[in-house]
Structure 1
Amino acid sequence: MLLESLSRQSALVVLAMVRLAPLLFVALSNPLSRVPASVRLMLTATAAIGCVQLSPQLQVPATLGFAEFLRAASIEAFIGTALAAGFFVGSAAVLTLARMVDMQMGFGAAAVLDPATNSSESIIGTLYLWVLFVLTFELGFHYDILGILLLSFKLLPMFGSGVELDLGAFTAYLTQQFTLALTIFLPVSMALLIFDFCIGYLAKSMPQMNVYFVGLPLKIFIGLVTLVVSVRLTGAGLEQMLANIREFMLMAVGR
């Protein structure tokens, strides 16, 4: 009986790890992707054990076969991906708009190589992702994440039918996050666009002047100054983005 009980608990822990893994292991511009995989695996296992112990309603069917276990694992993977989609969308929105600003400022040629994804990252986007990551802990949002994950095991129990996402609600959430990211980077983008018009007029009126070597340092300076000036708007936008992520995760678990 003891061995059977341990095997059932192990099955619950493994399925819980499958649900929690997308938040830590899917490297989509996630600062945690730079943490060693062994550390992330330990964090996932610890969180899974805690969720199983705090959810006494979780039970393994009496007749659990390999096919049923694979089906349950696939459902848990889908639930975990749905819960983590909020972070993926927020990160993608910040990186997309930040890459546009990088190109305007002239930082496009100085992209940072991310060894976790084998792709280049936006300098401004990487900075803002780390700011978003720090705000997550500074505002206590990580406690909300843990609470929603624990709540998901109550509202979406294992060996259930899974989660049904409303495509219209997801599209609205996608639009909302990208609109927020546009609001954050709009001041610097407009300032650089006005500067480009001025440089273009200067190049036409003074063709003998090498505008590129004069304009590039000025564009970088204007872009950085505008980013600093609009920092209050940035903080409010990122905080609202985290609030939207919380609402999306609650919607995903059916709350």
Structure 2
Amino acid sequence: MNISFYVAEFSLIGARLLPFFISSGHGPFQRLPAMVRIVVLIILTLICCFLVQVPNSEVVKNYMLLSILNEFAVGVALFFLVQLPFVAIGFWGRVLDMQIGFGAAGVVDPANKSQEPLLGTIFVLAALAIFYLSGMHITLIKGILFSFERFPIGTEFYRLNLPNMASVMTVFLSVGMLVYIPVILLMWCLDLFMGFVSRTMPQMNIYFVMLPLKIAIGLFLLSIFSVYSEPVLTRLFKLVFFYWDSVFA
């Protein structure tokens, strides 16, 4: 039994999976506790070791460090696309927070040690629930296994057909905006009305009078239009696997 070969295989497969579990950004696994992520990473790597073949074993053994870095770079490219839906949802949630009046409020994320937008965090958690309930996590694992088939271990990183990242981020932000755009536009109209009132009645403190009303109207509108957000979120997740397929084309 060649122990060194199995260690090399485990290291290379784990290097490609590592960005999905160690990143502190947004993603389907980032809300899990650190110990749970480590256990899932080890189990998934072991499963992939039985299902994935490592070609060019001699080349891999001779350039082990470079091969690990190469697989890690491939994993980073794949994970970057996976987290884009959650980044888009969080970004427009922050915009809506400022629009409604929750700009000063926020939720402390202990994993990232940063302050996250209030409504953005709620929608990101809702997107995570839809991600798991719709079975997208199974599709993600199948996509990872598919990546080893389409882009075998040891294949150079530069062979990836990486799309224009600026255009990809624009697509995700544009689709993610559809979750919030009705409320944002209606709140903008309310801001115009508030500006008109403040000009016609300058003696009234418009901030303290209209802010509670603005928050109430914003939450009411959000409760109405959020019902239609599930197809948009599902579309965002499907875009991830569409771009994955183009990366390995």
Q: TM-score range by the shorter chain?
A: over 0.9
Shift of 1:195: 0.8
**Number of residue-to-residue matches in the alignment:** 248
Instruction: Give RMSD over aligned pairs.
Output: 1.8
Pick from 228, 236, 239 the counterpart of residue 234 of structure 2: 239
- Counterpart amino acid of 1:156? F
Separation in 1 of the partners of 2:28 and 2:108? 14
1:24 alignment counterpart: 21
Q: Which amino acid aligns with 1:234?
A: S
- The one-letter amino acid of 2:74's match is I
Q: 1:225 aligns with which of 214, 220, 225?
A: 220
Corresponding position of 1:112:
107
> What's the TM-score, normalizing by structure 2?
0.92
Which residue does the alignment assign to 2:38?
41
Structure 1 stretch 22-31 or stretch 134-143: which is displaced more?
22-31
Give the counterpart of 1:58 among 42, 54, 57.
Answer: 54
| 1:19–1:79 contact (8 Å) kept in structure 2 | yes
Counterpart-to-counterpart distance in 2, 1:29 and 1:213: 35
1:153 Cα offset (Å): 1.1
Is the 2:15–2:72 Cα contact (8 Å) retained in structure 1? yes
Write out per-residue CA displacement over residues 84-130 of structure 1, whole angstroms, 9 at most, x where no aligned residue. Answer: 11122222211211111101111111111212222210111111111
Q: Corresponding residue for 2:155?
A: 160
For residue 50 of structure 1, report the CA deviation from its aligned partner. Answer: 0.6
**Does 2:7 correspond to 1:10?**
yes
User: Match of 2:77, as an amino acid?
Assistant: A
Deviations 1:51-106 (Å, cap 9, x if unpaired)? 11012x3246236556x111111111111111111122222211211111101111
Partner of 2:170: 175
Q: C-alpha separation between the residues in 2 aligned to 1:156 and 1:63?
A: 16
Q: 1:10 to 1:140 in 2, by over 3 A?
A: same
- Structure 1 residues 26, 43: closer, same or farther in 2, change over 3 A? same
Report if aligned partners of 2:60, 2:67 keep a CA contact under 8 Å in 1. Answer: no
Q: Which amino acid aligns with 1:41?
A: I
Contact 2:54–2:153 (CA under 8 A) maintained in structure 1: yes
Q: Secondary structure at the match of 1:33?
A: coil
8 Å CA contact 2:5–2:57 kept in 1: the answer is no
1:235 corresponds to which letter in structure 2?
E
Amino acid at match of 1:20: L
Q: Gaps spanning 5+ residues in structure 1: where?
A: none
Percent identical across equivalent pairs? 27
Separation of aligned partners in 2, 1:231 and 1:181: 12
Q: More deviation in 171-180 or 218-227?
A: 171-180
Secondary structure, in 3 states, of the residue corresponding to 1:160? coil
Read off the aligned partner of 1:221 and give its amino acid letter.
Answer: A
List alignment gaps of at least 5 residues for structure 2.
none
How far apart are residue 31 of structure 1 and its match? 5.8
Offset at 1:165? 3.2
TM (normalized to structure 1)?
Answer: 0.90
- The aligned counterpart of 1:84 is 79
Whether the aligned pair in 1 keeps the contact of 2:28 and 2:83 (CA below 8 Å) is no
